[in-house]
Structure 1
């Protein structure tokens, strides 16, 4: 068993817009993963509000430079914001500080608002950079890049198999839902609906276990020994060197600005 590393189908973009990522296709996948990881660590360590705005601007500039579909990328980032919006909305009411106004007796503090904005900027800057640099990699390519970066093989295999079989499980779910609709099942606020949804989830788990056993048997028949050999090689090129210099320059500039602004305060 082996895989070729290729540009392949993208995660965030469709085939008709695949040419928009040619700026990134010339880079070694390891360069993109390392750059995204270093940017995430640096951005999370920032505390100054102006520098965080600049870091978010760097992510937006990278998105524009790579000419990815802006609408699709921002919609996916908005889905992430949906998980933290409630936490950010509560911070102004829970962080001590000078209240600007009161809502049902709870003070809305300026310090809490600034803290919420800081967390929001940090999360969006990191996620946007990850989506641009890593999210456009083919799953197999990303898995092999992580393996070359000495990530534990178990985690790499989990990533690759999870990405591969999410669509399989989704198709299984659609077949079960179709069977339920044929039997005149309709969603409603009733005990019967809750019981039926529970049966659906249980059946999905049972079928997932059964399918995983069949997949494992098929892989063993094809000589799988716990490793997936790579039939192509990854090489750092001059483009990766230029990319590394640019990333180092941006990271150093953010670090110096953080140090100077932090010292000023």
Structure 2
């Protein structure tokens, strides 16, 4: 129900067209996120997204036609571009916060079971679970290889040797990831894997789960209706 509620909220937010409603929804979501998950990791993840959103403010105000609000040499900043970039930034930030609050603390295995309960194809849910599981392992492998390079005196610089070393590092990560994938496949086959994971039945929703689902879905639909007025 958390997954469905988050998808309904994100779908409603993606359809917003007015800036005041988008600002109000973002502010409300930020307050709920701060109360529900006050740890700093949540906001660090949001900062990673905001770094990409900055590209919107670098491109859209200078490329969209509209009334000019500022001029920088041959470049003209349009109010239409600024409005569109701000609206997209608010919708993306709100959607990311919703997903982090609802799904950020959920284990990949539980989320995979949830996808299967929603009749998502087995291959997609299996691919998601395996990716979420082994991205961290590959990251640890890359960190160990990097530490090994530093222990042998490697110091990154802007020269051919550095780029060649990073190329070898990337190749070694891919080779070890392939070897790990083969070992995992063999281990799964030895344990009787037949193309699908055993999924235990999910517990029935409680009354407070239904209430939270109705609250989140109703708030998202209400925001969309206000936006259309």
Q: Same fold (TM over 0.5)?
A: yes
Please list, as runs of the form range in 1=range in 2, the aligned pairs for 1:23-102 lying within 5 A after superposition.
31-66=1-36, 68-102=37-71
Partner of 1:118: 87
Which structure 1 segments of 5+ residues have no match?
A: 1-30, 261-265
The alignment's TM-score, normalised by the length of structure 2, stands at 0.94
Q: In 2 relative to 1, CA 249–179 (structure 1 residues): closer, same or farther, beyond 3 Å?
A: closer
Tell me the alpha carbon deviations over residues 229-259 of structure 1, each in whole angstroms, 9 at most, x when there is no partner.
Answer: 1235331221122112212321232122112
Instruction: Supply the distance in 1 between the matched residues of 2:2 and 2:227 (Cα, whole angstroms).
Output: 24
TM-score, normalization by structure 1 = 0.82
| Aligned-pair Cα RMSD in Å | 1.5
- What whole-Å deviation, never above 9, does each CA across 1:178-226 have from its counterpart, x for those lacking one? 3322322211111111111111111111111111001100011011112
Q: Which stretches in structure 2 are left out of the alignment for 5+ residues?
A: none
- Superimposed CA distance per residue, residues 21-51 of structure 1 (whole angstroms, 9 cap, x where no aligned partner): xxxxxxxxxx110011011111111101111
- Partner of 1:137, secondary structure, is coil
- What corresponds to 2:144 in structure 1? 175
Determine helix, strand or coil for the equivalent of 2:77. strand
How far apart, CA to CA, are the structure 2 residues paired with 1:186 and 1:163? 31
Q: Deviations over 1:78-112 (max 9, x none)?
A: 11111221222221111111111211211111111
How many angstroms apart in 2 are the aligned matches of 1:155 and 1:121?
Answer: 30
For residues 190 and 251 of structure 1, what CA distance do their matches in structure 2 show? 52
Q: 1:112 to 1:230 in 2, by over 3 A?
A: same
Cα deviation 1:111-167 (Å, max 9, x = unaligned): 111111101111011111110001121111111111111112112111111121122
Structure 1 residues 249, 172: CA separation in 2 closer, same or farther (over 3 Å shift)? closer
1:208 and 1:222 map into 2 onto residues whose CA distance is 21
In the alignment, which residue of structure 1 is the partner of 2:226?
A: 257
Equivalents in 1 of 2:41, 2:115: separation in Å?
26
4+ runs deviating over 6 angstroms: none
Number of residue-to-residue matches in the alignment: 229
| Alignment map for 1:155-166 (pairs within 5 Å) | 155-166=124-135
